[in-house]
Structure 1
């Protein structure tokens, strides 16, 4: 059975986009070309991989099985290319990097430093929540991810802590806790709470810590955008927990910020799959991260 890597990449892109038109645009080829490639692939395998309905494609059971293997094969090919390119030093290559949308701005200094040191390496960045980053690492569609701890799949994922920020309670200016120096889980549980989307590591951390403290949060809304969370707090729709770098960018005249007792922290890390070899570019990013954040990285 001879299936070109390009066909596997085409199949995976089509599954990811769910649409022939979007896949064609992303791959810079025509829609009829993709259709022919997928048709030949299905003929080669003797199985229907996709269900085509109203411009949308869905995986059959055979397609689900094939997707898993295709991810592994494309990942192995990517790693082989990176290792060969690195024989003469890290001058070229491609880094498949996952980033949580909430912390995109925090990666700028790290990526700028990486670009300065390795200008020939292409950075292919994708946005996921923390759990989504882990899933992409497990499926070998990312080399490394810049996201928040904790890790859900500890047995499969390794991490390098880079920096730690306090988590602060974000409240509207007119709030019932004005005179309090800090807030407790009891205070938080007494109010509507605005949490992050469930695939965010921070959402899982907040849920776990509140349960350990013996309190159930009254989650009124969820969002993956910190500015929308802050806008809902400002509109008196509930309280939220936000990292200090985010709080520093919000209007201080419209919002109030208080620490928690006991203090809560937002840990930012690089994470990768521990049973696969790191690509040279991923290793280099870890080294740059240790240079940028030496206080925690070297402890």
Structure 2
């Protein structure tokens, strides 16, 4: 079996985007060229990999198996390219970086410092929730990721803490709970609650805590966009818990923020695979982050 690396790359991009026309545009190919490439791949494997429709493509069972292997192969290829490119020092290459959307603005200073130190390294950033970032690492789709801690896959992933922020309850103006200085989980259970999507670490943290307390939250909405959650709270659609930096960004005079009775923190950090060596660029980012933490503590 002889499958070119380019074909694997195009297959993975197509699956990620889910549409032949848009994928072809991003790959700088014509749509017929991409279609023929995937058709030849399926003929080589003697398996149908994709279910095609006008709107999107979906993986068959064989496609799911092939996709998992293709991710691993492309990850290994990427690592080899980075190792060869950096034999004479970190002057070029790519860093595949996962970033949680909620913390993107909090990582800017570190990434700016990295770009100044290594201007030849191209940053390829993908957005994931906390659990999604873990899955992307395990599939070797990214080299290192910014996410909320702790991680779920503790035996397979290593992490380092970058910063911890208090979590606040977000309330609309004149809400009955705004009269309290601190709010409990029992208080929150009385009202509709807006929570993040399932792949966010905070969602898992909230579920664990309420399960331990025997509390059932009245989940009204789920979203991965903090600004949208803030707007829903403003309109009285529910309450939410948000990290303090996000509360500050909302900056609305229609919102009130209160501390939790049981203090909670949002811990952000970098995570990477245990059983794979870091690429030179990922190792440089990790080293730079540790120096930054050391400077702040001294």
For normalisation by structure 2, the TM-score amounts to: 0.95
Match in the other structure for 1:162 = 162
Tell me, yes or no, if the aligned pair for 1:150 and 1:205 is still in contact at 8 Å. no
Match in the other structure for 2:135 = 135
Structure 2 gap segments, 5+ residues each: none
Shift of 1:251: 2.9
Secondary structure class of the residue paired with 2:166: strand
Match in the other structure for 1:118 = 118
Per-residue CA deviation, residues 119-162 of structure 1 (Å, 9 max, x unaligned), is 00000001111111111111111111111112111121211110
Q: Distance in 2 between matches of 1:219 and 1:201?
A: 16
Q: Distance in 1 between matches of 2:2 and 2:147?
A: 38
State the superposition RMSD in angstroms: 1.7
Matched, 1:232 2:232: yes
Secondary structure class of the residue paired with 1:249: helix
Q: How many pairs align?
A: 298
Summarize the alignment of residues 138-217 of structure 1 with structure 2, pairs less than 5 Å apart. 138-217=138-217
Summarize the alignment of residues 239-250 of structure 1 with structure 2, pairs less than 5 Å apart. 239-250=239-250
Structure 1 gap segments, 5+ residues each: none
Summarize the alignment of residues 36-51 of structure 1 with structure 2, pairs less than 5 Å apart. 36-51=36-51
Tell me, yes or no, if the aligned pair for 1:158 and 1:272 is still in contact at 8 Å. yes
Q: Distance in 2 between matches of 1:156 and 1:297?
A: 29
For normalisation by structure 1, the TM-score amounts to: 0.95
Label 1:56 to 1:235 Cα distance change in 2 as closer, same or farther (>3 A): closer
Matched, 1:220 2:220: yes
Secondary structure class of the residue paired with 2:87: helix
Q: Distance in 1 between matches of 2:243 and 2:134?
A: 21
Match in the other structure for 1:286 = 286
Q: Distance in 2 between matches of 1:37 and 1:78?
A: 21
Summarize the alignment of residues 10-159 of structure 1 with structure 2, pairs less than 5 Å apart. 10-159=10-159
Tell me, yes or no, if the aligned pair for 1:162 and 1:289 is still in contact at 8 Å. yes
Shift of 1:297: 9.1
Q: Distance in 1 between matches of 2:22 and 2:161?
A: 36
Secondary structure class of the residue paired with 2:48: coil
Secondary structure class of the residue paired with 1:212: helix
Q: Distance in 1 between matches of 2:92 and 2:181?
A: 52
